[in-house]
Amino acid sequence: MSILASSGLEAIINPHDAAPSREWVLGHLADPEVRGVCLTHSQPSDKVDDEFLKACNENLKVVSTFSVGYDHIDIEGAKRRGIKIGHTPGVLSDAVADITVMLVLMTLRRVEEGISLVKSGGWSKLPWAPFILCGPSISHPSLVLSFLGFGRISQHVLSRLLAFTSKIHPPQVQYVSSHARPNQMEIDQQFSDRFGVKVKRVERDQLASESDILIVLCDLNPSTKDYVNSEFLGKMKRTAVLVNAARGPIVNSDDLAHALSTGQIFGAGLDVITGEPDISSDHPLVKAQNCVIIPHMGSADVDTRKAMAELCVRNAIAGAKGDPMPAMVQ
Amino acid sequence: MSILASSGLEAIINPHDAAPSREWVLGHLADPEVRGVCLTHSQPSDKVDDEFLKACNENLKVVSTFSVGYDHIDIEGAKRRGIKIGHTPGVLSDAVADITVMLVLMTLRRVEEGISLVKSGGWSKLPWAPFILCGPSISHPSLVLSFLGFGRISQHVLSRLLAFTSKIHPPQVQYVSSHARPNQMEIDQQFSDRFGVKVKRVERDQLASESDILIVLCDLNPSTKDYVNSEFLGKMKRTAVLVNAARGPIVNSDDLAHALSTGQIFGAGLDVITGEPDISSDHPLVKAQNCVIIPHMGSADVDTRKAMAELCVRNAIAGAKGDPMPAMVQ
């Protein structure tokens, strides 16, 4: 608010302590004095589609989203209308990496089952035996650690996970990216040198079949939607775990529920899920004992959300004034 | 089993897929051919008290516990009867450190609340706002990271947590140990050099009042029972989190429940709790939204439990034969 106040621009703030209505949003977009808009990823009112773009008055120059992902925004449509898009990369990488590592540990170590057991009062009835509630070890000697997408956040996750994996038998790291670069071997060598373990780009089949821990941290776009489907899951190890901290629709929920219930994979940890936030208590993934779901909290720490708010507002102010934006979607 | 088989000793195995009865245990102890016993920390049948020791025939030379802690064993009583005690230090340090870091992240990031929200179907009704479900950041610049006990496992936890904390503003690390050593400054300098952050032993009051993250990883003994009580909790920061991965009774449950319900501290993560495993679903700590409880799963990964089983059996065989034991309680 203080940054907005000192910008010389006037701010129209949603007056309710809840999401604004779509009508409220569209109504203000039409006002010719409105030159920019800040919005979020999470609210249906904030979807930047054809209807949204048509409602924008011609002085509106910038849409600034309080998120790094922009799959809720029609980027091409906005470009055609000369509207710039701001987002919040970088500032949330640490917080999302923290949650991702937490979900890896929770999934490997069967924490969903453990918590449910305690909550139901069933702990006292559990017979103790050496392998009760045991999961795969993260320091297992031949661990293969895989990433769907190997951008900034994946790299932060890797540097954290290497504090847990075996020092004597370091894990192999592999990732899939949208396309191989001409100097791919050189790039992978740089990654390997930087992290002190072997890192390499692989193809989709190898990612599926060799991973012990598979972490989804890529953009949602037409090429990644349903990337993890029944055919992919069918190639995975029965001891493998999957963590999605990117966007729900990259993993097909029906196929994942089937793979979890049949033991095709060991477990899953989800910060995101297709259809969120409208997830009912009888959703098959909510009911699965080998799946832990948290409500899209990846960036939810106080310092991170402050930094995202600041970057979101600075993008909007710069865009509205026609100045260079700190973080613009190209 | 293969190690036992090749030892030349005969094994009497509890035939049920559940804890044996106390009678079954005591009955076999009296058998003059029984020279050693393997037992666990978790079963009432396995408590090595006066009754247990009196039941032991005079050829019984060793009690080997499948745990690192031995607060279920009357060590002095066993010594008086010439019985050696084996335990399993070292092999479970990584697994317990993994779970401890996971509990730190879960507690800071309000994951108990998040999971409950998803399970109840309440996610769709949650209004999105920048600080909804936000917790303190682990990379906060002035973080104070504290340990009650700074042995092997605490040190493993610290090396993992340093992959999450700020590189530019590293955390201050402090710990309490049972007594200051004559060369305490030198010891702390060695820790500081090894971890690359300032590490120092402090007194109880300072531990309470300055910690942002307080991790309990000490032995349970008369001097640590109820160490974290209402007076201690009353000195803690309202934004602080507490994680106990050692033994339940080090933290007073009633006092912790009060501190959590009044917001005296931010949250707690417990792998252990007084009275486990008889914890009912209406226990105040089970019901607290800012407390996550898992059923003593610290060492529960497959590789770790195998290593513990092997060490437990090797201790028993060596003790029974009068050979030096791989890991004997002094």
- B215 within some domain: yes
Q: Is the dihedral of CA B64, B68, B72, B76 positive or negative?
A: positive
For chain A, what percent of residues have pLDDT higher than 70? 100
Q: Looking at the structure, do residues B217 and B267 belong to the same domain, yes or no?
A: yes
Q: Looking at the structure, do residues A86 and A43 belong to the same domain, yes or no?
A: yes
pLDDT of residue B16: 82
Q: Are residues A24 and A45 in contact, defined by beta-carbon separation less than 8 angstroms?
A: yes
pLDDT tens digits, one per residue of A76-95? 999 999 999 999 999 999 99
pLDDT of residue A44: 79
Domain hosting A214: range is 93-293
Q: Looking at the structure, do residues A87 and A114 belong to the same domain, yes or no?
A: no
Q: Looking at the structure, do residues A202 and A309 belong to the same domain, yes or no?
A: no
Residues of B in Cβ contact (< 8 Å) with A293: 115, 118
pLDDT of residue A45: 84
Q: Looking at the structure, do residues A245 and A146 belong to the same domain, yes or no?
A: yes
Contact B109 A99 (CB under 8 A): yes
Q: What's the pLDDT band for A16 if we cut at 50, 70, 90?
A: confident
Q: For position A58, which CATH number holds? A: 3.40.50.720
Q: Looking at the structure, do residues B43 and B183 belong to the same domain, yes or no?
A: no
Q: Are residues B288 and B294 in contact, defined by beta-carbon separation less than 8 angstroms?
A: no
pLDDT of residue A89: 93
Q: What ipTM did this prediction achieve?
A: 0.94
Which of A 193-252 lie inside 8 A of B, CB atoms?
none
pLDDT tens digits, one per residue of A19-59? 889 999 999 999 999 999 999 987 778 899 999 999 999 99
Give per-residue burial for A173-189: e unless 16+ CB within 10 Å, then b: bbbbbeeeeeeeeebbe
- A116 within some domain: yes
Return the DSSP state at B300.
-
Q: Which candidate in A123, A253, A281, A312 is best for mutational testing of the B interface (most B CBs within 10 A)?
A: A123
pLDDT of residue B44: 79
> What total of structural domains would you count in chain A?
2
pLDDT tens digits, one per residue of A257-286? 999 999 999 999 999 999 999 999 999 999
- A326 within some domain: no
pLDDT of residue A43: 79
Residues of B in Cβ contact (< 8 Å) with A301: 108-109, 134-138
Q: Looking at the structure, do residues A122 and A250 belong to the same domain, yes or no?
A: yes
B308 touches chain A (CB under 8 A): yes
CA-nearest residue to B129 within chain A is: A18
pLDDT tens digits, one per residue of A104-160? 999 999 999 999 999 999 999 887 788 899 999 999 999 999 999 999 999 999 999
Instruction: Give the active site residues of A.
Output: 296
Q: Are strands B241-244 and B267-270 parallel, antiparallel or unpaired?
A: parallel
Q: Looking at the structure, do residues B70 and B210 belong to the same domain, yes or no?
A: no
Distance separating alpha carbons of residues A207 and A33, to the nearest angstrom: 51
Q: How far is A21 from chain B (nearest CA, A)?
A: 12
Question: Which stretches of chain B score pLDDT less than 50?
Answer: none
Q: Looking at the structure, do residues A63 and A161 belong to the same domain, yes or no?
A: no
- Averaged pLDDT score across all residues of chain A: 95
Q: Looking at the structure, do residues A86 and A166 belong to the same domain, yes or no?
A: no
Q: Looking at the structure, do residues A142 and A236 belong to the same domain, yes or no?
A: yes
pLDDT of residue A143: 97
- A329 within some domain: no
Tell me the residue type at A255. Answer: D
Residues of B in Cβ contact (< 8 Å) with A243: none
- B103 within some domain: yes
Which of A 91-120 lie inside 8 A of B, CB atoms?
94-95, 98-99, 101-102, 105-106, 108-112, 114-115, 117-120
Nearest to A42 by CA among A315, A277, A308, A305: A277
Return the DSSP state at A90.
T
Residues of B in Cβ contact (< 8 Å) with A163: 159-160, 162-163
